[in-house]
Amino acid sequence: MIDLLQFEFMRNALYAALLCSALCGILGTLVVVRKYVILAGGVAHAAYGGVGLALYAGISPRLGAIAFSLLLAFPMAWVMLKKAARADAIIGVLWAAGMAVGIIFADLTPGYGSDLMSYLFGSILTVTGEDLFLMTGLLGTTLLAGAVWHRQIAAFSYDEEFARTRGVPVTFLHFLLVILISLAVVVIIRIVGLILVIALLTIPPSVAEKFSSSLWGMMAISCALSAVFTLAGLALAVRWNLTAGAVIILVASMVYILSMVLPFGKRK
């Protein structure tokens, strides 16, 4: 694999894996702690609707995925905040509707099967400089938000009611995190595809939770684990000519299973 780093596409894939790992480690931790998994899943599948619409309209699929994901993310976020008891069902409907829109417009736009497949299963070896720029910008924005509101985010993550009593802007942080998670989902789709994006957001933090005692420690360990999973999966995929996204998730899943059956980490 080292010999392949002389090629630009391989260097881009390596950079994308590292940037994606940082995003998954930070935002994935909040997805797990705040129980936003259903939201992340809804956004990921809604993104497919944006891709289909964009291809039909002749514009950038990435732009369509971002716009459509954010469009549906806001009602999903509102439902989670105001109608938590019905959130799963309503988000499930929006999730399915987004996918259906994408499929229908893909049917109406012949000749784009390969583009849609790359969003379904990921295509890390075709990552471009523009993709890296977006990932870097999103990571920088996420780190800036964490630096400015780190105390409020910690309080909000573990005890929302307590955070409200302490004057933490819970509603603002809720929608801010939804926006960041939505954008992260869209860029991570480029790596592993929308079918597997939830696994990459949730598996590393779930493993990291066993070995950390704070939110920030969990994020740090999750970032490291994500990097190991993505780099190991990429190396194995290149070695055996397999789909990189699927191999990355398989590596992560095997480690998660081991973390559950072996007596390591914190005792519950």
236 pLDDT exceeds 70? yes
Which one has a higher pLDDT value, 138 or 264? 138
- pLDDT of 232 above 80: yes
Q: State the alpha helices, DSSP H only, in the chain.
A: 8-33, 37-57, 61-82, 87-107, 113-121, 129-148, 150-158, 160-165, 170-192, 197-208, 215-240, 244-261
CA 174, distance to chain mean position in Å, is: 17
* Predicted confidence (pLDDT) at residue 113 exceeds the cutoff of 60: no
Distance (Å, rounded) from C-alpha 70 to C-alpha 183? 8
pLDDT score, position 143: 96
How many other C-beta atoms lie within 10 A of the C-beta of residue 4? 14
Which residue segments constitute the domains of the chain, with CATH numbers given?
A: 2-261 (1.10.3470.10)
**How does residue 15 score in pLDDT terms, banded at 50, 70 and 90?**
very high
Region 51-67: mean pLDDT is 88
Please provide the DSSP assignment of 152-203 as one string: HHHHHHH-HHHHHHTT--HHHHHHHHHHHHHHHHHHHHHHH-TTTHHHHHHH
Q: What is the Cα–Cα distance from 168 to 162, expressed in whole angstroms?
A: 9
Residue 7 vs residue 114, higher pLDDT: 7
Least confident of 37-41, 110-114, 154-158: 110-114
Angle at 223 between CA 218 and CA 226, to 5 degrees: 120
- At residue 114 the predicted structure's pLDDT band, cuts being 50, 70 and 90, is low
Average pLDDT of 43-53? 87
Confidence band for 268, pLDDT divided at 50, 70 and 90: very low
Q: Give the pLDDT score at 213.
A: 86
pLDDT: which is higher, 138 or 166: 138
Quick: pLDDT tens for 142-185. 999 999 999 999 999 988 888 999 899 999 999 999 999 999 99
Residue 170: count of CB within 10 angstroms of its CB: 17
User: How far is Cα 170 from Cα 175, in angstroms, rounded to an integer?
Assistant: 9
pLDDT-above-70 percentage for the chain: 93
- Which pTM value belongs to this model? 0.90
User: How far is 9 from 103, CA to CA, in rounded Å?
Assistant: 29
Least reliable range by pLDDT among 62-66, 136-140, 152-156, 261-265: 261-265
Is a pLDDT exceeding 90 seen at residue 58?
no
| In contact, 64 and 71? CB cutoff 8 Å | no
Locate 85 and state its tokens: 């008891």
Mean pLDDT score of the chain = 88
Dist CA 148 CA 38 (whole Å): 27
Q: How far apart are CA 102 and CA 49, in angstroms?
A: 4
Q: What is the pLDDT of residue 31?
A: 95
Given this model, what pLDDT does residue 229 score?
95
Kindly tell me the burial class for residue 129, based on how many C-beta atoms sit within 10 Å of its own C-beta (0-12, 13-18, 19 or more).
exposed
What end-to-end distance do the CA atoms of the chain give, in Å?
40
